[in-house]
Amino acid sequence: MKRIAYSLAPPVVAVVFALAATCVVIAISGGSVGAFLSTIFSVPNDRILVNIVNQSSLLAISGFAAAIGFRMGLFNIGVEGQYIVGSCAAAFFGGSGLVPGPLNILATLVVAILAGAAYASIAGVLKVTRGVSEVISAIMLNYIALTMSGYLVQRYGVKAGYTYATNDLPPSSQPLGFAILPGANDVWALTVIAVAVAAGYWFLLARTRFGFDLRTTGASASAALASGIGVKKMVVVSMALSGGVAGLVWMPAYFGSVHRFGVPENFQAGLGFAGLAVALLGRNRVPGIILGAVLFAYLSGQSNELQRDGIAKQVVDITQGIVVLAVVVAYEIVRRRQSRAEREQVSEELAATPAAANEGEAR
Amino acid sequence: MTGTTALSRARTVRYTTIVVALAAIVTVSAVRIVTGADRLTTPGTLRQALIAACPILLAGLGGLWAERAGIVNIGLEGQMLLGTWGAAFFAYHHGWLAGIVGAAVMGLIGGLVHAIATVSFGVDHIISGVALNIIGLGAVGFLAKSYFDELSGGGPRNLSGYPTPPTLTIPGISDGARSLADQHWFVVSDVSAAVAGATTNLSILTILTLALALLTAWALWRTSFGLRLRSCGENPQAAETLGVNVYLYKYVAVLVSGAFAGLGGAYLTMVSSSSFTVGQTNGRGYIGLASMIFGNWRPSGVLTGALMFGYADGISLLPKNGPLVHALLLLVAVFLLAYSVFKFRAGELTTAIVVAVIALGALVWYFTTTRVPSAFTGMTPYVITLFVISVASQRLRMPAADGKPYRRGSAG
């Protein structure tokens, strides 16, 4: 009971705190707090509801990509760059129509995974061969990915409006969405990727030898090394795995509605960082990540309605950022409290047994 | 005995630095003459480079302050963003001086959030920084919409028409150097172009930036305050046993770090440009971080890195820069070849070969094309930093306790 409270309380407290802090910011800048709260907590209309589902899938995939790294003790801040590379490669491949019809979907997804994995491997290999921190190299690689993809699209893409983009995905390769709510837009077909990734993540970590090795290495690299796990190989493989999942992040949107890639108009940037936040919020657990993704998607979805109240919708970015900060602080406080409670319990037990007390006196 | 050795080593290092710097100038000049790309070192280009370098330098110095006290500050980007808004808002209502102060204060607030999370609560520094960047971008978008939309010269995402810091030109030197630079002589013109670029229409904020670089070097390395601050980044437990209030020093360092980043934001809105837009930093906080790593966590290194990256940034902003970027490619190839020879003589065969192969690749690229897309200059800082941390990682030494959690009383 206490354990459940310990694990559920921090995220709830964090969300409440973040909303309160956002209200303070709105109040200071002269906005209406009441309008903000009533809009955020209003029942979303059908169109927004579909958007929330769609966006949740992207955020969840990104969250799982980050979580693979976290469980391994790696901070894959490069999810952002990896999904740009994955999306760019996939859109070039998918748009070329080399593989006909629905088979193109499968082939394109493979390309996205491989591109993301290959790009993530750079950071992994540099870490094990040159001792370069994966955080630093990934930050550099994120920007290189953004610039390179922009250049490639401009050089080899086609003119789309005022900017450039890749060739459109052939209509024969565009999957039909799920028309769940009549009148609203479709839920993207490839939101199922998020479900598949969630299942795969759970199975890999909880049910395979590789997952066990990965968690062990994350918990203690030296213990893993001592028990015969090839830590260096694990770093490269798990980095590639994280990057492979990252490559898929934008695919539901690509196949579902955008059908082409071009920065910034025909792309959604920032999902990588949001995914890190979602993974942190969900403590790298499957239900946690899904809930975190839904929460972030819900806030973003409702934020569009805020414009009506004269409140800039970017205010939910503040909420999201504070949620992350607040939740890690809350977890840290809980951890400190738990370890203090354990220490006290041990010393109480020691005091209760006379032998131990005598030993203590003898010293 | 050891004193003299250390002294003579310091002297050798200084001579080596001077020789390398001279060799670099001669190489740049030679490349300019060989390629005929005279615009590589005109006063205009170098002035542009200086203006591009200053915000990177401020961010890099900000990163240096925090990391020297053991706190990794990935949130520089967010603090810089807050600075851009602060500069625009306060300058619009209360003049340029208030703009500079306001930017520093906004950055400082960002630093305070980071300090509370990382120092008091022991949160992972990277997580706090990532969160801060999300908050910074959101806050600036929100604040711009809330405060600038109804102003004249403003919009939901931008503002213009606020006063900027005055500029000054040093009369005799500026003109003399400029006429020397126009001769396009070997080395002489390049150096005088740099002098002309640095003495013409020089913003007060540029002078302040360079002064802050000197101040940082002095405060962190020449005062007992700086020694204590750095000891918190090297070994906080040892510092604690010597009576240093580690939390206080870490707080001061992160607050200064945020203020510096905020000033970097002010530079972007008040000197690099005369208007504010949401997201104006465009990754310069990260480039600042890169310049700090490139500079091996030292002020002189940060300055070198910032000038180099600023040059790349400045060039990418110039019109019709295709031939310039192409000429830079030859420059890079020459430097890489020199570095390869240096590594070969140091006995690191593998590294020497890898670097030589990259250099040859750059040479082939140079001779088979006539222009290079300017997108490639935009990513130069990141590629160079990636290259440096991969190839020279043994020579880089960050503060020993950088990024490690520390709790009061953990020294026992």
pLDDT digits (tens, 9 = 90+) for A166-183: 999 999 889 888 888 887
Residue B118 contacts A where some CB pair is shorter than 8 Å? no
Is the pLDDT at B244 greater than 70, yes or no?
A: yes
Q: Tell me the CA distances in angstroms from B400 to A204, B68, B307, B397, one per residue in order.
A: 36, 9, 27, 8
Element (H, E) at B299: helix B299-317
Alpha helices in A41-97 (DSSP H): 46-71, 79-96
pLDDT digits (tens, 9 = 90+) for A124-146: 999 999 888 899 899 999 999 99
Q: How confident is the model over B129-139, as a mean pLDDT?
A: 94
CA atoms within 13 A on the CB side of B232: 31
Q: What one-letter code names the amino acid at A221?
A: A
Contact B381, B290 (CB under 8 A): yes
What architecture is the A50-312 domain classified under in CATH?
Orthogonal Bundle (1.10)
pLDDT digits (tens, 9 = 90+) for B323-346: 888 888 888 889 889 888 988 888
B279-298 residues touching A, CB cutoff 8 A: 283, 286, 289-290, 293
Q: Give CA–CA dist A218/A235, Å, rounded.
A: 10
pLDDT digits (tens, 9 = 90+) for B253-302: 999 999 999 999 999 999 999 999 999 998 899 989 989 988 999 999 99
pLDDT value for A50 = 94
Say which of A136, A280, A322 has its CB closest to residue B293. Answer: A136
Element (H, E) at A6: helix A2-28
B33: pLDDT confidence band, cut at 50, 70 and 90? confident
Residue B55: name the closest of B242, B273, B328 by CA: B273
Q: Residue A30 burial (CB < 10 Å; 0-12/13-18/19+)?
A: exposed
CB contact under 8 A, B134 and A321: yes
Q: Sketch the domain layout of chain A as residue ranges.
A: 50-312
Q: How confident is the model over A352-358, as a mean pLDDT?
A: 63
CB contact under 8 A, B382 and A148: no
Which of A28, A121, A317, A320 would you mutate first to test chain B, the one with the most B CBs within 10 A?
A: A317
B384: pLDDT confidence band, cut at 50, 70 and 90? confident
Q: Give CA–CA dist A109/A112, Å, rounded.
A: 5
Q: Give CA–CA dist A201/B38, Å, rounded.
A: 57
Is the pLDDT at B23 greater than 90, yes or no?
A: no
Contact B53, B314 (CB under 8 A): yes
Residue B22 contacts A where some CB pair is shorter than 8 Å? no
Q: Give CA–CA dist A119/A140, Å, rounded.
A: 12
CA atoms within 13 A on the CB side of A297: 23
User: Locate tokens 């250049």: which residue?
Assistant: A151
Q: Which domains does chain B have, with CATH numbers?
A: 39-321 (1.10.3470)
Q: Sign of the CA dihedral A56, A61, A66, A71? A: positive
Bond into B165 cis (ω within 30): no
